[in-house]
Structure formats: structure tokens, C-alpha cells
Structure 1
Amino acid sequence: MSFSDVAAKLKKTGVLDKEKQAAEQKPLDLEELYTLRGRMLGVLIRDARLAMGYTIEEIAAHLNLPDETVLAWEFGQAVPSLPQLELVAYLLQVPVSHFWGSETFMQQYGSRQIDSHEYSILRDRMIGALIRAGREAKNLTPEQLVAKLGIAPEFLQAYEYGTLPVPMTLLVSIASAIDVNVNYFLESTSRIGEFLEIREALKTIEEMPEDIRAFLSSHSNLAYIRLAMVFANLPTDSLRSLAEGMLDITL
């Protein structure tokens, strides 16, 4: 039986539903409950390992454990401790909370399937339109831009009309020539764009000081974050008046 069959079978049998039913029944069959949880955890560990391209031997070597131990985890015959699970999450670069959920990466990737050929054609056209708009905004003629880039005029025309994909190294030079950030060309409206935007946001958060990262990652601070967003959008005069009002209250 393949891994996908195991995952489908566990989903079909309703592991989470059985846990809920078990909680409602008296007396509670704890042994069955722990077995079901162990199997589901094993499915998630194996799924994450395969998604990240690791072998059982590599995981075992990093954790300084026998191969048989990791294999037993994946088949629900043994259960790792939280510290061991944290090490697995760190190695596979996934949130440790993924392992007490129920959605596999296989399910997530399945929902992300797109037509890559159609996507590339559409994006080339969008990037071309952005190049042309940026060039015109800087009042540059095609001749002036190709002189800056050192390319033939017919190539620029093909790029602007989206009939030829722009090499990334050249796109960086184009961005510099029309005075925009490379992010100007990034997709932001589709599922791919949303995913890339989230990854960029996570990269920014990772570069922040530890105390700020801790503050942002706490759900209890959401109200304060929203308040900061409101303040960030207020005009300077309104902020000054608000600060003066708060000062009056404290005096």
C-alpha cells in the first residue's frame, strides 16, 4: 500500500471524527485514541519528509537515531517526543504545529496545480506591459533604453509585447534603467503571487529583531498591530493632535 493510499484511508476512516466521537463516549478508549493520533502523526511526518526531499536515513542521521525508529514513527508504531518533533520540524523547515494538524503537503500541493505554460505566457505579457509603462514614465524612448541595456531594439520590442521572456539578469538591469525596484515586476494577484508575497513577508519578519518577531507572532497582539496600522495611515497633523491629546491626559 502506497503512502497516498494510507493517507486516503486515514482520511476516509475519519481519524479526527473518531477522536471527537471517542471524547463523547463513556468510557473513553484511550488506547485506540492514542493509536489513531500516532498514525496520523506518522502520516504527517512521512508526508513532510517526502515533500522536502529527505530519505529516512538522512532524517535518522541528523537526529542520531536508528533508521528503524524513524520508520516506526511514520507507520504509527512509535511516537516521537516533542523535542524530537521540534528537531524534525527544524530539519524539514516546517512549523512544528503542522504535526498536530490534519492537512498533508500532498493535499496542499494538489490544490496549487496550475497550467505553467499558460501562466508563463500571461506573466511575460504583464511584465512587458510594466516595462513599457516604466519606460514611458521615465520619458525614455526605446532607443534610449536599449542603449542603456546594450541590447538590440528588436529584443526590447519583443520583451515589451510579451512575445519573448525576459532573462532575470536583464530584468534587473531594466529595473535599474527605469528606476524601479525588481519587486515592481512581481506577481501579486494570483495564488502564485499570494504565495510569493507571503514568502517575502516571512523573509522580512525573519530579518527583524527577536523581540519584534515574538510580538508579531502572538495572536494576542493582533489588536495592537491593527492599531499601529491605523496610526501608520493617519496624516501627520492628525498624529500630532492625537499625541498632544494623550499628553494632556497624562499631565
Structure 2
Amino acid sequence: MTINPVLKIIRAKKFGVLIRDARVNSGKSLVDCATAIGLSADELGAIEYGERPPTLPELEILAYYLEVPLDHFRGNEILKTDGNKKSFDPAEIKQLRQNEIGALIHKVRIEADLSIEELAEKAGIAPSSLQSYEQGEVPIPIPELEILTLVLNNSMQDFEDQASIVGSWFVEQRNMREFLNLPKELQSFVSKPVNRPYLELAIKLSELKVERLRSLAEGLLEITL
């Protein structure tokens, strides 16, 4: 079997495009990436321009440094820049979150059957300040929010962002940490696409009421006995 040498040139060019795209997408400089994989900027530049292909160890370290799956460099697609991040407006998100936190404090206070004055006294906060917090007019300092959650028998996690761009990122990071804390055999099981039906079944079972689960278990016992 004879390999056309042109294919190697094309492959090197393709690697270069994917590597440059991954680097630019990550916001890392050419110098930073070159240093990370033990190359000079000129050497990495040559790789990005397809003048020489990377070695596997270089590609592995670069993928690790850029936090990009190694399989990405075996494909044909460039990384998609998150359009939401381009329109990221911290002032807008902070105001939205300020309103949400204030509304949640108001809701929990009403459920606890406390007036603004009563909660303010318990938390050691001026009633006027608490009212401003609830109305989203003034941002709440974390120490005061911690005191309010303590007085209202809530936790800080109840007030954390879950829905915005920032909150979604927090949720993803938390889910990833929980996944990495699983035993290796469970990580392997969850990662295999062939096991997806079992995972979907487990989700459905987890949503059933105890009585229904007991009925199903009894039915299975009757079948197996």
C-alpha cells in the first residue's frame, strides 16, 4: 500500500488550523502555548501554519493546556465560540441577580411570617436597608446575606445563581466535580454511550414515588421466583 505524500501535507495543514483555532478560542497567546509544550513561538507557529506536524506528546500536552479533548484534533470542525459570552454584560447580570436575591429574601421572609422590622432586628440590619435589599435597589453584602440566610433557616446555595450564563457555568462545574468524585468504574460506565438507556431508566425510576417503586420491586420478585 502506497501512501500519497500529499496526504501528509494536507494532514499537517489540518492540524495547524485546528490547533490555531483551539488556541485563539481559549484566549491563550502563541508564546504561552509554545512555552507550555516546550517549544519556541517560531516552532509552534510553524505547526499552526502547517509547515510541520505536531508530535503526539506535543498534541497531548497542548490539548491538556487548552482544556480541549484530544479527539477534537482528529475531527474536522473548529471550536464554536460561545456567542453568549460575547454579549456578556456584567452590569445587567448583577442587577438581575440583585433583584432575584431581593425577591427571594422577601418570599422567604413572608413564608416565615416575619415583618421587615422583625427580620431586620433578628439580623441586626436597619429596616430601611432590608427593604432596599428586598426591592433590589441596593446590592447585599455577603456577610449580611449570610446572616439573613441563617436567620431564615436557608443556605447560601439557595441564593446562588442557577440560570444566567455565570450560573450555568457554576452548575456545569459542580456537576463535573461530582462526576470526577465517582469511583472510576462508575465514571467508565456513565461515559459509555451504550449504557445510556440504563442511565435514562435510572432517572425515570428516581422520579417514581416510593409506593410505585415498591410495587415494581415486588413484581420483579414474583417474576424471578
**TM-score, normalised on structure 2?**
0.81
Query: Identity of paired residues, percent?
Result: 31
Aligned to 1:201: 175
Contact 1:46–1:74 at 8 Å: present in 2 too?
A: no
Distance (Å, rounded) in 1 between the aligned partners of 2:84 and 2:222? 58
Query: Secondary structure in 1 aligned to 2:82?
Result: helix
| Mapped pair 1:116 → 2:90 | yes
Q: Does 1:233 align with 2:207?
A: yes
1:33 maps to 2:7 = no
Amino acid at match of 1:170: E
Q: Which amino acid aligns with 2:77?
A: S
- Residue 23 of structure 2 contacts residue 33 of structure 2 at CA under 8 Å; is this kept in 1? no
Matched residue, 1:15: none
Choose the corresponding residue for 1:144, options 118, 128, 138.
Answer: 118
SS in 2 for 1:166: coil
Instruction: Report whether the alignment pairs 1:162 with 2:136.
Output: yes
Report 1:44-83 matches (<5 A): 44-49=21-26, 51=27, 53=28, 55-83=29-57
Following superposition, the deviation at residue 131 of structure 1 comes to 0.8
Cα deviation digits, residues 205-251 of structure 1 (max 9, x gap): 22322222222222222111110011101111221121222222223
Alpha-carbon offset, residue 44 of structure 1: 2.5
Aligned counterparts of 1:30 and 1:119: Cα–Cα separation in 2: 49
**Kept after mapping to 1: 8 A contact 2:16/2:49:** yes
Partner of 1:126, secondary structure, is helix
In the other structure, the counterpart of 1:102 is: 77
Alignment partners' CA distance in 2, 1:82 and 1:248? 56
* RMSD (CA atoms): 2.9
Change (3 A) 1:80 1:48: farther
Gaps of 5+ in 1: 1-26
TM-score (norm 1): 0.73
Kept in 2: contact 1:42–1:76 (CA 8 A): no
Distance in 1 (CA, whole Å) between partners of 2:12 and 2:84 is 28
The AA in structure 2 aligned to 1:228 is A
Give the superposition deviation at 1:136: 1.7
The offset of 1:87, in angstroms, is 1.9
Identify if the C-alpha distance between structure 1 residues 223 and 163 changes in structure 2 by more than 3 Å, giving closer, same or farther: same
TM-aligned CA distance change 1:240 to 1:82, over 3 Å: farther
Query: How many equivalent residue pairs?
Result: 221
What is residue 243 of structure 1 aligned with on the other side? Answer: 217
Whether contact under 8 Å (2:20, 2:48) holds in the other structure is yes
Q: Secondary structure at the match of 1:146?
A: helix
Question: 1: CA distance between counterparts of 2:154 and 2:178?
Answer: 19
Q: Which runs of 5+ in 2 are unaligned?
A: none
The one-letter amino acid paired with 1:139 is: D
Superposed displacement of residue 48, structure 1: 4.5
